Chains A and B, each alone.
Chain A
Amino acid sequence: MIWHKETTIPKIDLLVLPGGFSYGDYLRCGAIAAKSPIMNAVKKFYDDGGFIIGICNGFQILTEAKILPGALIPNVNQKFICKDQDLLVTNNTTLFTSGFKNNATISIPIAHHDGRYFLTNAELQELEQNERIIFKYKNNPNGSTGDIAGVSSKNNRVLGMMPHPERAVDQDLGSVSGLTFFRSIITGF
Chain B
Amino acid sequence: MTSEETTFRFKVEVVLKNGVLDPQGEAIKQSININRLGNVLEAKQGKLFELSVSSKNIEYAIKDVEKICSDLLTNSVIEDYKYYEVSE
Chain B residues with a Cβ under 8 A of chain A: 16, 19-21, 23-24, 71-73, 75, 77-78
Contacts and interface: CB of A to CB of B under 8 A. Distances in A.
B73 A118 contact: no
Given A27-B72, A27-B73, A31-B72, A118 B78 contact: yes
Interface stretch (A69-77, A80-88, A98-106): A69-77
Contacts, number: 31
A74 B76 CA distance: 16
Interface of A: 27-28, 31-32, 35, 63-64, 69-71, 73-74, 76-78, 118, 120, 143
Contacts of A69: 77
A28 B72 CA distance: 10
Contacts of A73: 16, 20, 78
Nearest to B24: A78
Contacts of B19: 120
B30 to A, nearest CB: 13
Given A27-B72, A31-B72, A35-B72, A78 B23 contact: yes
Contacts of B72: 27, 31-32, 35
A64 B23 contact: no
8 contacts: A27-B72, A28-B75, A64-B75, A71-B77, A76-B21, A118-B77, A120-B19, A120-B77
A2 to B, nearest CB: 23
A76 B75 contact: no
B56 to A, nearest CB: 25
A143 B21 contact: yes
A69 to B, nearest CB: 8
